[in-house]
Every structure is written in structure tokens, then in C-alpha cells.
Amino acid sequence: MTDVMTPGLAVGRLPAEVLAENFDDLHPALTPHEAVVAADRCYFCHDAPCVTACPTDIDIPLFIRQISTGTPEAAARTIFDQNILGGMCARVCPTEDLCEGACVREMAEGKPVEIGRLQRHATDTLMAQQGHPFTRAAETGKRVAVIGAGPAGLACAHRLAMLGHDVVLLEAKGKAGGLNEFGIAAYKATDDIAAREVEWLMGIGGIELHTGQILGESFQLEEVAGSFDAVFLGTGLSGVNALGVAGEDLDDVVDAVRFIAHLRQAKDLTELPIGRNVVVIGGGMTAIDAAVQSKLLGAQNVTVAYRRGRDQMGASRYEQDLAASKGVNLMFNVQPKEAHADEDEYLAEVELEYTADDGSGLKGTGETVRLPADQLFTAIGQTLTLDAGLELDGRKIAVGPTGRTSREGVWAGGDCTPGDDLTVVAVAEGRDAAMDIHATLMGAN
Amino acid sequence: MADLTTDFLGIKSPNPFWLASAPPTDKEYNVRRAFEAGWGGVVWKTLGAEGPPVVNVNGPRYGAIYGADRRLLGLNNIELITDRPLETNLEEMARVKADYPDRALIASIMVPCEEQAWKDILPRVAETNADGIELNFGCPHGMSERGMGAAVGQVPEYIEMVTRWCKQYYDRPVIVKLTPNITDVRKPALAAKNGGADAVSLINTINSITSVNLDTMSPEPSIDGKGSHGGYCGPAVKPIAMSMVSEIARHEPTHGLPISGIGGITTWRDAAEFMALGCGNVQVCTAVMTYGFKIVQEMISGLSQWMDEKGHTNTSDFIGMAVPNVTDWQYLNLNYIAKAKIDQDACISCGRCYAACEDTSHQAIAMSEDRTFTVIDEECVACNLCVDVCPVQDCITMEQMAPGTVDPRTGKVVEKDYANWTTHPNNPGAVAAE
């Protein structure tokens, strides 16, 4: 019988009911009473630090007060006014680094107001009701192409549609949602929330979704720029960085993003193979999401190997603690040196080299350690693969403050542009670009 | 350990905590449980005249006001006096008193404003061996429509008259319970005293509607779509009650009249405050209706600890100690000048002080880019609003300015001598200092 001790890759290490429990909501929804109690802790700060910390500038004290007075629907409108993906952001935002990290009660007592869960309470309440909370303005007759149906593209499309423009949303994958649908740990996006949210968002009307449309293959930027009044690029980062070590071409060395996408789309988690020993290379949220989910699938030993110290880790302390609580081993100051295969050419061990920074940059110390590994997930960053002739800023598309690219009539936002690669940042960028597109098309600029 | 034994009108009880005449004291079963829990005394639920008892509504009797986490802050009720036969209550009272001779047992009475009615009931109450009676002149709902309760308590002449009858036909202490639904509580208190009352107890409940149901447009508590004002009580009424108690305690003609304090007393601290304002003991109701009889344990331990800390060996040591400090506005020292001070280490930068001061007061708090909040002494009138809205205790304090220093707001030197409105030059009726 297969269990956590079964060597190599195996499916069904844990029974279905354990898997269901493992992948259940990380932060279950607040009941109405819990929400009122949690809301009551908000001090309704003047010029509140939580709002400043929110990339989408949601009026947090206002929506919390609306919850406390028994109008979660009004609270949800306050949220959606700024962030139409407020439902997903309530689940996936690293609130400990954003609103909750800035909450004065965090400073006062180390226990911030539960802003994320309150936001979820409000947005869940309104989304469970019939209909869409916003109505479209009169049609403008303008047509905008939005390329990429991830958080940035969806936010942009919704805002444009609301303002009366017709939007054609072109998505490369077979399904809209972007990383909300294909990335992000499953226990943060239960009950098919990403897909439900897209459907709900489309309820505004005026958005035509076309899937399987790959920019550069199915169509060219030139074409859409010529046939639409404006274009928004929210294509994300579809490439991944290579490890650059021997053995990385072995079968069981896999890009963590792909592993997570596979897991998120799996119909039955008991059918998903996972190694007994899993090593994840990287230090961001993707690394943590891959590692924790490996553990929850039944891997016996899961290690996150990060080349720098704990403080430099991209994943928040909260995420690190979450991983540790699930039994993930966090290793710091180690970098991959080689992936070793056994005689059958299956991945067997990962060799890591310790690192140190003597002030002149991070270097290997020469000392190495080998970890048994049936699977190696790489989560060392994603890259822009789009080559549409746009000016770049470093390795991303250069944009102005409202997302204007170097090409007139083309805006961009989300992970393909500079800034933090967060859902909430992508939403803000998509929304702001939409407002600028609107102003431009309507002749205000 | 401090001695909590209290002697109120010669009635001894092991502690000053009595249960007020109310639903918790309606029957033997409750009162025995209360005494077992440690309550020092009980004022039995108000008795009515012989005959068919009153009837209560058969829907909700109570409505509530909540604070955070459904903490009950205020309760209103439309229950009437006891709806059990007089004889049943009297028999039970006699049994309980016999079994608990060390506890105070007071009979609350409300009968029509006719001498014969009082003459009839008083000897029967006396037979129970109750320690005294309390005249319910306060109940604001139902009974008042029938010329009893607050309808009597609002007419000082009636109070005096009925009190006199009671003193005539009953030989133990008579306490007159006062209604707060009146303009000047000193008038009924004086009437009670003139009628020979041994004490007054206050406050009874306040006319109130706790809420309106916005679906049915009925006041709450709602009986078949209609509501009636009920009597408000609980922590929310404590400030009103204490003010009324202090008025009686410091008013020359009523000063010294024993007072039993009632109104939102929930903790030992509330009790101590009422007693400091001149109450010989206190009566509790809403707190036990919210938490049960057990809270008396905290009241006993808390009052004992505080008395020990302050060196009080007996409750009489501190009763009335705060009365001399209650005065009229016109006698407050206008030369006492303070400024708000924000403890930057304690500040959590919520900015509530700023919003309150900037929007609604004197624009006396500055806010910097990095959310540091500081008091602008040139503008601060020491109103205390920032202290009141600050969520951090002792973060903002009012600091007295030393005499001889200059108040930057007025540019005037802070005087060391007391001076009040009565002699202030802006007062058209000022009397020249002699």
C-alpha cells in the first residue's frame, strides 16, 4: 500500500479524506458574528496606515465600519470600487506585509485587525447575491484589446467595460484567471474561487473573452494595435529562470509554477504523483506554495533550499512559519550545485553548496551537502518572454505611472511590468491603466 | 482583610451588595440562590395589593443595547410588579428570612395611593419579619398609567403623604425608591425626608426605547408590532444615577439622608464609586441578569482588596468621601490650566486624537509626515477629548501647568490662587472679591 514512506514518485500517499482536509481553506470564512467582533477591533484611524499600505488603496476603515454596522454589502462595494478582485486578494494578499503589517494594532499588541478575513467576509457576502454590483456606463463605441486574463487584465477589462468601452479579452491559456487560477496554493483559493470570480466579474457585460490566443503566435501586437482603439498588455511572465547546474534536465526537475498549475487543475489529488523526498529551490512565495503543497500531498521530507539568509527571503515570515508548521524544512544559505541521478537516470539526490556573503557578494563556501530527492522544484523567478518591440526597464516592459508603454496606444501592467509581483499590485496597475485609457480615448488627455 | 459588614438604617448585612427589587428577586428559589452565592441583602420584587395579581405581557419584556462583542451595556424592561399572589410572596419571604437571619430582606411595595391600601398591606409585610420596606415610586411603565410607581414619584406631595402613612403603620425602616424621570431629584428626595423616610434609594429605571425595528417599524421590545417605553438600566445609566445620588448627598436639606445606590452597578469599582458619593450600600440588578449571581464574589474580593490598599477597615470609612468634591460649575478653579501631552513611546499612531481635535475641537494636534502626533500648546484648551478617544490608556495625559509659567494659548501667567466664575470679570453678576 502506498503511503508517505513509499520510495520514489507515487500517487495516493494520503487517503482522499486527508487530502481534502489538508487542502481545505487556510483561513476559513468568518461567521457574521465573528466578523462583527473582528470589525470592532478597528480603531478607524485617521489617514489610516493600512490604506497607505494597500496597493489598491481600499478604504479599509470605512469598509470595516460598514461591516460592524451590519452592511457587509456596502463594505464590499467600498472594496470593489478600488479592487474588483477584492475577493481573491482577501485570500492571497500577503496581508502581513501590507495592510495588516501596517495596522496600528500590530504595533500596539502584535495582533492586527484581521483585515484580510474581514475583506473576504464582505466580498463573499456580496458575491453570493444575485447579479453584479456595478452597472455599465453608456457605450462609448470604443474598443480595447486586453491581452492576458490574469489579475491585471481582468481588472483593466472590468474597469473599461464599466466605463462603457467594449473589451476583447485575449487569453493564451484555455481558461481565464492567470495566476489566481494556475498559480497560488490551492488552500488559499478553495471552492474554485478563481473561476467563480472571473465569471462574476464578467457579469458587468461588454467583455468578450477569447481563450487559446497566444500573443506572438495566434496574433501579433501589430494587428491588435491597428484594429483596436487601445491595447493593454497583462501577459505576466511566462518564462522561468534556469538553475544553471548539471542534472537540471532530469525528468523530475520541474518548474514549481508548472507543478502548482498542474495541482490547481487536478480533478483528483489522489491521482497526483509526489515524491517521498522533495526539494524546492528558491525563497519566494512560489517556493513556499510548492513546498507546503508537496507536504500536504504526502511527501515525507520537503526542504526549501534558499541561497541567502532568512531575512532576505522573499516569502514573508508568516509564510515561512506556515511552511514550518506543516513540517517543511527551511534551509538557508545553500545554493544548488548539482542534481544527481541514480543508475536508472531518475533524480536521486540534490547537492547543495553552502553560501556566505563576505561583503563582496554571495559566494559558495565549497562545503556541500546532499539531500535525497525524488523531485526537485525550481522557484527561482520567472521571466518575460514577450518580445513585442517595446522598451524594457531591466527585464520587464518599461511603463509610466499609469502603465503607458513606449508605444502609443499600448498600456501594460501586472507581472510583465516593474514592481512587486503580487495579485493586488497587478489589479492596481490594470485599474489605473484603464482609467488612463479611458481618459485618453475620451479626449481628456 | 477589610470588614465589609454594613449597617444601613440599623439593618446589618455581611456586605453592602444587595439585589434590587426586580425580576431576580421575584421568588424564594431565586433569593435562596442569591444568598447562597453571597449577596448581602435582597429587596424582594415589588408586592401589589391583595387581589388578582397584575398580568405581564406574553411577549418580550426586555430590550438591549450592546457594545463590542454583544457586551450588554443597557437593558430596558416592561415587566410589571410581581404577578404572583401576595400571600405566596409573603409566605416565601418569611421562610427565607427565617433561614437567613444575617441577610437583609426588604419588601418592596406598590399599592394605590390611598391610605387604606397601605394600612392593609403593611401589617402583613411586618409579619414576614422583613427588615424594612422600600416604596416603589419609580416604576415608569404600566403601573404608572394606573397612578402608581413613577406617577407617585413625580409628585413630591404624594411621596410625602404615602411615606407618612408608612411610618405611621409600620415600625421598621422605610426606604423611598425614587424615579429619575423627573427634572430635579432633590425635590422628591426632600419630600421623602419630610414624610419621615429613613432613606431613599435611587435610581429606578429611565423611560426608554432601546431600538426601532427597521423592517417592522416597531419599537423594541416589540409586542405584536407595538412597543411601549420601558425602564432603562444597566452600565449605560450609571453616570446619570451617580449624578442624582450626588445631588441628594450634597444638597443641604437632604444631606445626610441615607441613600441606597442603584443604577448600572456591575463591578466592585462601580459600587465603591456610588458609596464614595454617599451611598450606604448599593443595589444590583442588570449585572446579575447578565452574568448570574456569582459576580458578587468579584465584588466582595475587589472591594476588600481596594479597602485594604487604601487602609479602610470598614465601609463607613469611605462612604461619602467624594461628596465634598462635587460642586457647581461656577466654583471650579479657572486658574487651573492644563495641556494635553502625548507619550510618544506609547503612541500607536492611529491618529484618532488628531481627527477628533482637528475636525471637532481646537485644531491643537499636529500630524507629521511620519505620523507623529504632537500637541500644539498655543491651541490646546485641555478639553480632554484626545484623552477620551485615544485607544491606549495613559498615552495622552493632561498635565497641569505650574503657577508662574506662561500659558502659550493666552499669553498669560498661570496664577497660583484659586479663582472661579463668581468673581470673573466677564461675569456680569460677578461679586467683587472682598
A105 interface with B at CB cutoff 8 Å: yes
Least confident of B26-40, B128-142, B293-307, B348-362: B128-142
Q: Identify all chain A residues contacting B367, using CB atoms and an 8 Å cutoff.
A: 46-47
Q: How far apart are CA A27 and CA A31, in angstroms?
A: 12
A44 Cα to chain B: minimum distance (Å): 8
Query: For residue B203, is the peptide bond before it cis, meaning its omega torsion is within 30 degrees of 0?
Result: yes
Residues in chain A: 445
Q: In the structure, what pLDDT confidence band is assigned to residue B429 with cuts at 50, 70 and 90?
A: confident
Tell me whether residues A45 and B351 touch, CB distance under 8 A: yes
B75 Cα to chain A: minimum distance (Å): 20
Candidates A84, A401, A56, A178; CA nearest to A169 is A178
Candidates B132, B119, B222; CA nearest to B176 is B132
> What number of other Cβ atoms are within 10 A of residue A358's Cβ?
8
A355-359: long-range pairs with CB below 8 Å, 24+: A355/A307, A355/A308, A357/A308
> Which residues are within 8 A (CB) of A75 and not within 5 positions of it... i.e. 6 or more apart?
A62, A63, A64, A66, A67, A118, A122
Tell me whether residues B352 and A49 touch, CB distance under 8 A: no
Chain B: residue nearest A49 by CA? B350
Q: What is the DSSP string of A90-101?
A: HHHS-TTTTHHH
What is the reported pLDDT for B433? 52
Tell me whether residues B69 and A47 touch, CB distance under 8 A: no
- Beta bridge pairs of residue B211: B220
To which H or E segment does residue A242 belong?
A: none
B374 Cα to chain A: minimum distance (Å): 14
A421 Cα to chain B: minimum distance (Å): 27
Q: What angle do CA A62, A63, A64 make, to 5 degrees?
A: 90
Candidates A234, A83, A237, A217; CA nearest to A145 is A234
Q: Identify all chain B residues contacting A43, using CB atoms and an 8 Å cutoff.
A: 350, 352, 391
- Per CB distance under 8 Å, which residues of B are interface residues toward A? 68-70, 348-352, 354-355, 358, 367, 371, 391-392
Per the CB < 8 A criterion, the answer to whether A149 and A177 are in contact is yes
Q: Of A121 and B431, which is predicted with more confidence?
A: A121
What is the reported pLDDT for B69? 84
Q: Which three cell numbers stand for residue A162?
A: 464599466
Summarize the confidence of residues B278-287 as an average pLDDT. 98
B354 Cα to chain A: minimum distance (Å): 7
Per the CB < 8 A criterion, the answer to whether A133 and A78 are in contact is no
Chain B: residue nearest A61 by CA? B350
Residues of chain A with pLDDT under 50: none
B85 Cα to chain A: minimum distance (Å): 42
Cα-atom radius of gyration of chain B, to the nearest Å?
25
Find the farthest-apart pair of alpha carbons in chain B and give their distance in angstroms, rounded. Answer: 77
Q: How far apart are CA B176 and CA B98, in angstroms?
A: 25
Q: What angle do CA B3, B6, B7 make, to 5 degrees?
A: 135
Cα-atom radius of gyration of chain A, to the nearest Å?
23
From chain A residues 29-68, the ones with a CB under 8 A of any chain B CB are 33, 36-37, 40, 43-49
Q: How far apart are CA B111 and CA A330, in angstroms?
A: 80
Q: How far apart are CA B102 and CA B15, in angstroms?
A: 10
Chain A: residue nearest B68 by CA? A40
What is the reported pLDDT for B143? 80
> What number of other Cβ atoms are within 10 A of residue A323's Cβ?
22
> What number of other Cβ atoms are within 10 A of residue B223's Cβ?
16
Residue A341's φ and ψ, nearest 5 degrees, are -105, 160
What is the reported pLDDT for A300? 97
Per-residue pLDDT tens digits for B325-363: 999 999 999 999 999 999 999 999 999 999 999 999 999
Chain B: residue nearest A48 by CA? B350
A110 interface with B at CB cutoff 8 Å: no
Tell me whether residues B351 and A46 touch, CB distance under 8 A: yes
Q: How far apart are CA B399 and CA B342, in angstroms?
A: 10
Dihedral angle sign, alpha carbons of residues B20, B25, B31, B34? negative
3-state secondary structure of B400: strand
Amino acid at B367: M
Chain A: residue nearest B395 by CA? A108
pLDDT at B278 over 90: yes
E strand map for B263-395: 279-284, 338-342, 365-367, 373-375
ipTM metric: 0.84
Per the CB < 8 A criterion, the answer to whether B277 and B320 are in contact is yes
A45 Cα to chain B: minimum distance (Å): 5
Q: Identify all chain A residues contacting B70, using CB atoms and an 8 Å cutoff.
A: 33
What is the reported pLDDT for B432? 60
Q: Identify all chain B residues contacting A107, using CB atoms and an 8 Å cutoff.
A: 348-349
Tell me whether residues B391 and A44 touch, CB distance under 8 A: no
To which H or E segment does residue B397 belong?
A: strand B396-400
Tell me whether residues B355 and A46 touch, CB distance under 8 A: yes
Candidates B102, B82, B75; CA nearest to B28 is B82
Per the CB < 8 A criterion, the answer to whether A250 and A347 are in contact is yes
What is the reported pLDDT for A444? 59
Nearest to B349 among A33, A37, A104 (CB): A104
Residue A412's φ and ψ, nearest 5 degrees, are -150, 155
Summarize the confidence of residues B48-55 as an average pLDDT. 93
Per the CB < 8 A criterion, the answer to whether B266 and B287 are in contact is yes
Alpha-carbon distances, residue A400 vs A269, A342, A390, A408, A426 (angstroms)? 43, 51, 13, 12, 15
Could you tell me how far CA A3 lies from the centroid of its own chain?
A: 31
Tell me whether residues B68 and A43 touch, CB distance under 8 A: no
A70 interface with B at CB cutoff 8 Å: no
Q: Which three cell numbers stand for residue A307?
A: 541561497
**How is residue B324 annotated by DSSP?**
G
3-state secondary structure of A122: helix
Nearest to B350 among A36, A40, A45 (CB): A45
Q: B53-71 b/e with 16+ CB inside 10 Å = b?
A: bbeeeeeebbbbbeeeeee
What is the reported pLDDT for B138? 82
Q: Identify all chain A residues contacting B347, using CB atoms and an 8 Å cutoff.
A: none
Using the structure block, give the residue that is written with the C-alpha cell 495641556. B339
Strand B218-220 versus strand B211-213 pairing type: antiparallel
- Beta bridge pairs of residue A350: A339, A371
Nearest to A40 among B69, B350, B354 (CB): B69
3-state secondary structure of B28: helix
Strand B17-19 versus strand B279-284 pairing type: parallel
Q: How far apart are CA A44 and CA B170, in angstroms?
A: 59
Q: How far apart are CA B198 and CA B175, in angstroms?
A: 6
CB contacts < 8 A, A to B, total: 36
Amino acid at A278: V
Nearest to B371 among A33, A44, A49 (CB): A49
Candidates B209, B199, B172; CA nearest to B283 is B199
What is the reported pLDDT for A411? 98
Amino acid at B416: K
Query: For residue B221, is the peptide bond before it cis, meaning its omega torsion is within 30 degrees of 0?
Result: yes
Q: Identify all chain A residues contacting B351, using CB atoms and an 8 Å cutoff.
A: 45-48
Catalytic residues of B: 139
What is the reported pLDDT for B148? 83
Summarize the confidence of residues B395-399 as an average pLDDT. 98
Burial of residue B155 (number of CB atoms within 10 Å: 0-12, 13-18, 19+): middle
What is the reported pLDDT for B68? 84
From chain A residues 111-140, the ones with a CB under 8 A of any chain B CB are none
Candidates A322, A279, A275; CA nearest to A299 is A275
Q: What is the DSSP string of A297-360?
A: HT-SEEEEE-SS-GGG-SS-HHHHHHHHHTTPEEE-SEEEEEEEE-TTS-EEEEEEEEEEE-SS
